[in-house]
Amino acid sequence: MDAKKMFMTLILIILFFPFCTSLDTLTPNQSIKDGQSLISKEKNFALGFFSPSNSSYRYLGIWYVKVTQQTVVWVANRNDPINDSSGVLSINQFGNLILHDGYNHLVWSTNVSVQGTTSSVAQLQDSGNLVLVQDNINEKVLWQSCDHPTDTLLPKMKLGLNRITGLDTFLTSWKSHDDPGSGDCFYKMNPSGSPQIFLYKGSTLYYRPGPWPWQASSAETFSLGYKFDFVNNKDEVYFAFFLDDPSIISRLVVDNSGLLQQLMWNEGNLQWKELWSGPKYQCDKYGHCGAYSKCSLESPDNINMFECTCLPGYEPKSPRDWYLRDGSQGCVRKQLGLSMCGNREGFVKVEHLKGPDSSNATWMERSMSSSECEQACLSNCNCTAFLSMDIDGKGTSCLTWYGELMDILENSESTVGSKSTYTRKSKGFLGKQEEAGYYNIVCCCAIVSGITLASLYVAHKEEENKSPKWIMLQTTQVWQLWGDDRALDIVDPSINESFVPHEVLRCIQIGLLCVQEDAMDRPTMLEVLLMLSSETTLPSPKQPAFIFRKPSNDLGSVTGGGFNSINDVTITMVEAR
């Protein structure tokens, strides 16, 4: 009989234990000890004590119940771990949640002011939010964990600024995978100008995802019913995401390495699947190409190309750094002396862009046409660019920038989040685009001709009969004339009055650099183009690769016979460097 009673008592304990440890609510006369937990109503989340991998410290946190890999989404005492399993969570006489250790030391508290005598209760919701409310009819929310996130943003959680209370909600990475303490990476709303969210590494601005309304993410997130909510009014500015299907488990997390990831739990292989992440490419890193420059996303077709390009009408601020494939100093406007205010200036359309950093941008009135937006920008001399777009089918809006244009990313083709931006240009630039393009083509052709042995031809008039005679000008003669400061002698005398001497000399110098003996001394084609488009000092050319042992001093007597090349190579293969 005693054995039967003991068996029945044990059954009752087993049945009763999960019931009382699976409650989603904590009242003032209850507590949660290490080994116990709160479970949300639909068993989505659990609140209890845990230790990260390779750590013996204990933390109070919230994690997924239906995910087999323990994935913590919130930590209460992230910077104050408990050394053993003595931690206890309870509600004190003042209505606050408190966590203390075995020595009764206060480790963590909600630390809010509770008005009145009505008791408080804490509840773990199915959204993963732990709320502290006054136990009355209105259930006034005193505190909630989603206002104090750690490294994870869950569906419907707000990330942003409450302009009334000053509450700033942002994500902070863990120190490491074994330490949930506050790390160096922050994902935070910047309310200045047109609000956007930045990822910081320490105090350095590291990554800027597509700002609203550039709602760029992977195509897969849209197929899953992944949606954004962006609110910006006088009371608050925030970002949130949500899913049409509540059964999908997804989270946005900032890693201690500086990676921002949108993840989804895959029930098939029991793994977290990445939907999108950033920064993924070097162009994703904030300001990679500096001001007034755009960065082109890498692709298999252009991986060897320099990713930075100045906006139309601008040139590299530091051509030398540009040659070294460092565009961080950005670009500056050509012809700085020309007025850009009330001087019949206009705009150039730049397509397929993630819009510039909008910290210095302003939204104009709704229902403003593109032409009205342009005129609004022209009327303000500080306006450097504008964009006109339809937002959520609510009418065309106008966004205008004032000051530097930073962190511009260019997609190779139109994608979700890509827009066309109009940048301000002087009248002189707009009128000389075709002329400048023609000059560069002519100069480039001259240089390409100079690269090929015995392919540069010039016309000279014979003094006796004044008839033109075309002769082959070998690299030998060009080099000799260059050394004698007579390089301009290769120019046809009939055009002596129509060319700029220093520009022609620059072209000849670049041509000689292209045929240097040592390949390391030869500029790449990118460097050649930059040499043409800037006034930077060029290196002095050395003796070219193809030099003949018996150069003639008489340009008119070159017959092409009896010369031997120092270079034994007779066929040149053009290969990418």
Find the CATH number of the domain harbouring 107.
2.90.10.10
Alpha helices in 118-189 (DSSP H): none
CB neighbour class for 22 (10 Å; exposed up to 12, middle 13-18, buried from 19): middle
Domain boundary (93, 118, 148) is at 148
In a domain, 468, yes or no: yes
In a domain, 12, yes or no: no
Spans of the chain below 50 pLDDT: 1, 6-7, 9-22, 216-219, 300, 413-416, 434-445, 447-473, 548-577
pTM above 0.75, yes or no: no
- Shared-domain flag, residues 360 and 475: no
Q: Tell me what pLDDT residue 570 has.
A: 33
Domain extent, residue 494, equals 441-557
- Shared-domain flag, residues 291 and 351: yes
Q: How are strands ordered across the β-sheet holding 171-176?
A: 171-176, 179-190, 196-201, 204-207
- Shared-domain flag, residues 478 and 420: no
β-bridge partners, 160: 169, 238
- Shared-domain flag, residues 391 and 499: no
Q: How far apart are alpha carbons 381 and 367 in whole angstroms?
A: 23
- Shared-domain flag, residues 521 and 411: no
- Shared-domain flag, residues 459 and 525: yes
Which residues, 6+ apart, have CB-to-CB distance to 514 below 8 Å?
447, 450, 451, 522, 523, 528
Residue located via tokens 């051509």: 319
Q: Tell me what pLDDT residue 438 has.
A: 40
- Shared-domain flag, residues 292 and 417: yes
Secondary structure in 3-state letters for 234-287: CCEEEEEEEECCCCCCEEEEECCCCCEEEEEEECCCCEEEEEEEECCCHHHECC
Q: What is the DSSP string of 6-51?
A: HHHHHHHHHHHHHHHHT-SEE-TT-EEEBTBEEE-TTS-EEEEEE-
Q: Tell me what pLDDT residue 47 has.
A: 98
In a domain, 157, yes or no: no
Q: Which two tokens stand for residue 503?
A: 């520009």
Q: Are strands 408-410 and 456-461 parallel, antiparallel or unpaired?
A: unpaired
Query: Distances from the Cα of 444 to the Cαs of 401, 507, 511, in angstroms?
Result: 36, 8, 9
Q: Tell me what pLDDT residue 412 has.
A: 57
Q: Which two tokens stand for residue 330?
A: 């950005």
| DSSP 8-state class, residue 480 | H
Q: Tell me what pLDDT residue 352 has.
A: 79
Q: What is the DSSP string of 322-356?
A: HHTT--TT-EEESSTTS--SSSS-EEEEEEEEEPP
- Shared-domain flag, residues 410 and 458: no
Q: How far apart are alpha carbons 191 and 205 in whole angstroms?
A: 15
Q: How far apart are alpha carbons 516 and 546 in whole angstroms?
A: 8
pLDDT tens digits along 520-541: 888 887 778 777 766 667 888 8
Residue located via tokens 């946005």: 252
- Shared-domain flag, residues 357 and 468: no
Residue located via tokens 């001093």: 553
Which residues, 6+ apart, have CB-to-CB distance to 393 below 8 Å?
none
In a domain, 501, yes or no: yes
Residue type, 256: N
Alpha helices in 310-467 (DSSP H): 319-323, 370-378, 427-451
- Answer yes or no: are the C-beta atoms of 505 and 447 closer than 8 Å: no
Helix (H) or strand (E) holding 573: none
Q: Are strands 293-296 and 271-278 parallel, antiparallel or unpaired?
A: unpaired
- Shared-domain flag, residues 127 and 32: yes
In a domain, 333, yes or no: yes
In a domain, 419, yes or no: yes
- Answer yes or no: are the C-beta atoms of 457 and 468 closer than 8 Å: no
Q: How far apart are alpha carbons 156 and 530 in whole angstroms?
A: 49
Q: How far apart are alpha carbons 262 and 252 in whole angstroms?
A: 5
Please state, as a whole number, how many other Cβ atoms lie within 10 Å of the Cβ of residue 444: 16
- Answer yes or no: are the C-beta atoms of 65 and 57 closer than 8 Å: no
Q: Which two tokens stand for residue 113?
A: 């002011």
Domain boundary (366, 394, 425) is at 425
Nearest to 145, CA basis, from 125, 164, 160: 125
Nearest to 430, CA basis, from 509, 346, 548: 346
Which residues, 6+ apart, have CB-to-CB distance to 380 below 8 Å?
400, 402
Domain boundary (394, 425, 456) is at 425
| Number of compact structural domains in the chain | 3
pLDDT tens digits along 464-511: 444 433 333 467 788 888 888 888 887 777 665 566 777 788 888 888
Q: How far apart are alpha carbons 552 and 145 in whole angstroms?
A: 87
Long-range contacts of 170-173 (CB under 8 A, 24+ apart): 171/252, 171/253, 171/254, 172/254, 173/254, 173/255, 173/256, 173/258
Rounded to 5 degrees, φ, ψ at 320 are -65, -45
Q: What is the CA radius of gyration of the chain?
A: 35
In a domain, 449, yes or no: yes
Query: Distances from the Cα of 388 to the Cαs of 95, 249, 363, 384, in angstroms?
Result: 52, 36, 10, 14
- Shared-domain flag, residues 302 and 421: yes
- Shared-domain flag, residues 385 and 420: yes
- Answer yes or no: are the C-beta atoms of 278 and 207 closer than 8 Å: yes
Please state at what angle helix 501-513 crosses helix 525-532, rounded to 10 degrees: 170
3-state secondary structure of 458: strand
In a domain, 498, yes or no: yes
Please state, as a whole number, how many other Cβ atoms lie within 10 Å of the Cβ of residue 363: 15
3-state secondary structure of 5: helix
